[in-house]
Amino acid sequence: MPARGGESPLTDIPSRTRCSWRMIWPAADSTGRLLLGGLLSSCSASGARQVIAVIAGSDDPASTALHTAFGFVEAGRLEHVGYKHGRWIDTLLMQRSLP
């Protein structure tokens, strides 16, 4: 599967329109860094002030390390909210402020 990514507003509630969800599904190569860098630039250019990453399977060290390298910090953890590969998984929430 090719790498892909996107972002969308957190909500259409006026007081929260400057926050974005960030989605990235990296391929098995280094395109994740390129996608995430581009998405953050796009979010900043669109006026977003906060970006929230939702990492399914919070035990994924590569995804967590990628987001940490781009300045994301852990904002919370939702336990057993997804089912993937035959098991219940946690979801890690990470957040980054934009200039």
CATH number, position 79: 3.40.630.30
**Are 3 and 26 in contact, with CB atoms under 8 Å apart?**
yes
Full-model pTM = 0.72
| Number of domains, the chain | 1
**Are 92 and 55 in contact, with CB atoms under 8 Å apart?**
yes
* 99 residues of the chain, pLDDT tens digit each: 445 555 555 556 565 555 555 565 555 457 778 888 888 888 888 888 888 888 887 666 888 888 899 999 999 998 888 787 888 888 888 999 988
From the CB of residue 52, how many other CB atoms can be counted at a distance below 10 Å? Answer: 18
Domain span at residue 33 reads: 4-97
Q: Distance (Å, rounded) from C-alpha 71 to C-alpha 41?
A: 13
